[in-house]
Structure 1
Amino acid sequence: MRNFSARDLSVRDLCARGVVVAVAAAAVVGAAGVSGAAGAVGGERFGGVPEADLAFHGRLWMDDGRVELRMTPQNHGPFGVDDATVRLRWSAPLADEQRLPAGCARSGARAVLCRTGALPADGWGRTVTLAVRLRGEPSEVTLGIDAVWGGGAVDRNHRNDRQEVLVLDTGDSYVF
């Protein structure tokens, strides 16, 4: 039996609320692989587990303490994934009240977790659009973006699924 860390438990708690699905499948992947897109034919397996390579591309801008994000997940890997979870972590605290889109949930004072939906092998997912209000009106904020769950697939290339973007409160668009 695997011991769960606090991070695993918070993601698992979100699963119970329908935000992230099938986290248990990531912990128990049989030799036959996983069902759906992650079990697609072709590609290499890493230790018997399908391999994906998640990346996140988009733009964000900030105006008067409101940050808007448009981000499209991409899977460079040889296997698709049925769903994945990306964490968006701001360097400044979020305002207490937020209106988050379906598939996203707050995770602490500075972070939001969002589902990506299905990511086909060597393909793009649906665009995630999100607007948050920061506490106060900071003149700049750094957004950390990282995959916290890859749909049961292993991702050995973390150079493209973890990044930080500095955005200034000018209304200008910053691309990543």
Structure 2
Amino acid sequence: MVRGTRGVVRGLAVGGVAGLAVVMGGGAAWAGDAGADVVYHGSAVMTGDQVEVRLTPRNNGPSAVVDASVRLRWSVPLAEEQRLPAGCVREEERAVVCRTGSLAVDGVGERIVLSVRLKERPPELTLEFETAWGGGAGDTGKAHDRQRVLVLATGDTYAF
């Protein structure tokens, strides 16, 4: 793995498929007096006007998170009609919010898998995600809230 000054990570492999991911930021700190560090790991692939995202939330602690949700925002508009999985809702033209549920300290949540249709077929897009709600507590570390992944329309899997 190679890191540049802007957070560029190259040569990640997921399930034997190599890809390029541009990741900026870390996770979001949430919940309780001591806070919690919720991060997301997964992959995204764009084929035509479809983007499939698979992500797994993880709470690095030090406090448990009673309930949380993640906001996924695309740099391009989504098609009007979407078939979203249970626990996910359309928030705006370019964003979807999905429930992560409760997360124990050092716990891994259930994998979220969603596929969205785009209005057009761009050659690339940026997928940004962040914790949208962390059990009602405020964020204690705004400096590392968001992650961004550059996804090219190559059909390759891009890991974050």
CA spacing shift, 1:125–1:160, aligned 2, 3 Å? farther
Quick one: percent identity of the two aligned structures?
Answer: 55
Rg larger for? 1
> Which residue number in structure 1 is paired with residue 77 of structure 2?
93
Say how many residue pairs are matched: 130
CA spacing shift, 1:74–1:160, aligned 2, 3 Å? farther
The one-letter code matched in structure 2 to 1:118 is S
Larger % of strand: which? 2
Unmatched segments (≥5 aa) in structure 1: 1-37, 39-44
Larger % of helix: which? 1
TM-score, normalised to structure 1, is 0.69
C-alpha distance in 1 between matches for 2:150 and 2:46: 10
User: Following TM superposition, by how much is the alpha carbon of 1:157 offset from its aligned partner in structure 2, in angstroms?
Assistant: 3.6
C-alpha distance in 2 between matches for 1:159 and 1:51: 14
| Among candidates 82, 104, 108, match of residue 124 of structure 1 | 108
Question: Secondary structure in 1 aligned to 2:92?
Answer: coil
Using CA pairs under 8 Å that are at least 6 residues apart, name the structure with larger relative contact order, 1 or 2.
2
Question: Secondary structure in 2 aligned to 1:117?
Answer: coil
- Please give the per-residue CA displacement for 1:86-123, whole angstroms capped at 9, x wherever unaligned: 10000000001100000000011000000001111111
Alpha-carbon RMSD: 1.6
- Please give the per-residue CA displacement for 1:108-154, whole angstroms capped at 9, x wherever unaligned: 10000000011111111110000000001111110010111111344
